[in-house]
Amino acid sequence: MVYLKTEEEIELIRESSLLVGKTLAEVAKLIKPGVTPLELDAVAEEFIKDHGAIPGFKGYNGFPNTLCTSVNDQVVHGIPSNQPIENGSVISVDCGVVLNGFYGDVAYTFEVGEVSDEIHQLLETTKECLRKGVAAAVAGNRIGDIGYEIQKHAEDNGYGVVRELVGHGLGKNLHEAPEVPNYGRRGSGMKLKEGLVLAIEPMINLGKRNVKQAADGWTIVTADGLVSAHFEHDVVVRKDQVEVLSTHEWIEEVLKNKVNII
Ligand code: MG
Ligand code: MG
């Protein structure tokens, strides 16, 4: 079942999405070698609750925490641990909230300390994949057009596109129809209509596309052990253009100021 949202509902999803962006900006302040994912998780949970919202992931299908924190070869759905993150690592932080009955769902992959040029480039390209996929979410296009843009840009740069996990519709439920694969053929799949709200979230691997599930039953890791990156926005399909409801702006503001301090 695909739900097209009213303007009122879209505003509520925007509020939820923006709160996730603010939560991730709080997390961004703490990212440095030595911090533990569980410390990030505690700060995010408190921030969300202080803003009158409910952590969207905690308890979802039994997930134990507020954040999914996925380090290095972990792609998504990592459970926050008390293992300090090391210089040169990356950590994908995915967060959801429920506010006024609607979900927001946003992810950002952070560099921890100094990362290699190779890893920095993977993160930049994955952000570009997100931008290109988002730009294709226009009324009259099809789901496959989003995946095509993401896949083409990733593979042109020699990266692997994860296929087992996908973006999704978003609203009163965290995962609504339709699925939004990060690969696809132009002109294939469901036609996009105005008012469709989607979470678009490329997961791009430095190496091959294959992934496997870790023993904890949650964490998805790359099969070849190489680093993976993940960025996510919530958007609404409009006529002639897409509207991005979430923002990474506050996160990037924090990161920019950190660099200036060093
Ligand atoms: Mg997410
Ligand atoms: Mg999502």
The mean pLDDT of the chain is 97
Tell me: the pLDDT tens digits for 9-19? 999 999 999 99
Peptide bond into 178 cis (omega under 30): yes
For residue 262, the model assigns a pLDDT of 52
Ion ligand 2 contact residues with beta carbon within 5 A: 105, 199
Query: Quick one: CA dihedral 18, 19, 24, 28, positive or negative?
Result: positive
Ligand 2 center to residue 105 CA distance, Å?
5
For residue 260, the model assigns a pLDDT of 62
CA atoms within 13 A on the CB side of 231: 22
For residue 258, the model assigns a pLDDT of 85
Tell me: the pLDDT tens digits for 25-44? 999 999 999 999 999 999 99
How is domain 7-261 classified at the CATH fold level?
Creatine Amidinohydrolase (3.90.230)
Q: What is the mean pLDDT of residues 103-110?
A: 98
% of the chain exceeding 70 in pLDDT: 99
- What are the residues whose beta carbons fall under 8 Å from the beta carbon of 121, sequence distance 6 or more? 157
Q: What is the mean pLDDT of residues 170-177?
A: 98
Which amino acid would we find at residue 4?
L
Q: What is the mean pLDDT of residues 222-228?
A: 98
Q: Nearest ligand, CA of residue 96?
A: 1
The three-point CA angle 163-41-97 to 5° equals 65
Domain ranges in the chain are: 7-261
Query: Would strands 211-213 and 54-55 be described as parallel, antiparallel, or unpaired?
Result: unpaired
Q: Smallest Cα–Cα separation from 96: which of 202, 7, 170?
A: 170
% of the chain exceeding 90 in pLDDT: 98
In the structure, what pLDDT confidence band is assigned to residue 261 with cuts at 50, 70 and 90? low
Ligand 1 center to residue 262 CA distance, Å?
30
Ion ligand 1 contact residues with beta carbon within 5 A: 94, 105, 107, 232
Ligand 2 center to residue 174 CA distance, Å?
7
**Contact of 42 with 30, CB cutoff 8 Å:** no
Ligand 1 center to residue 199 CA distance, Å?
8
User: Which token pair is 167?
Assistant: 């973006």
Ligand 2 center to residue 34 CA distance, Å?
27
Q: What is the mean pLDDT of residues 137-143?
A: 98
Tell me: the pLDDT tens digits for 181-219? 999 999 999 999 999 999 999 999 999 999 999 999 999
* SS3 state of residue 199: strand
